[in-house]
Amino acid sequence: MQRVCFVLQVKPERLEEYKERHRTVWPEMREALSRAGWRNYSLFLRDDGMLVGYLETDDFAGARGRMSREPINAVWQESMKGFFVDAEGRRADEQMRPLEEVFHLA
């Protein structure tokens, strides 16, 4: 099992709308994440827009690949792309770079 943590940057002027969108994540998106192997998935948002994501999966590369083939993911990502800071115009799911785990208290 892999524990995965990543950081993204939400545009500060869109924080409230971002939080509102995540209060009602589409059931189809939640089901797709589960099917793709994303477990215990959480998002944490700081008031300056720093977003920290955490999930557990058997294989992050495989889980991302399966999620990329889910039709609902393309729709969700398109609806969310304006929320994130990225000079290259990439979607949030393309920007996820896992942080190195340096300590874990089991």
Catalytic annotation, pick one of 3, 22, 35, 90? 22
d(CA 82, CA 10): 9
Instruction: Provide the sign of the torsion angle of the four alpha carbons 62, 57, 49, 24, taken in this order.
Output: positive
104 is catalytic: no
E strands in 20-90: 39-45, 50-57
Active site residues: 22
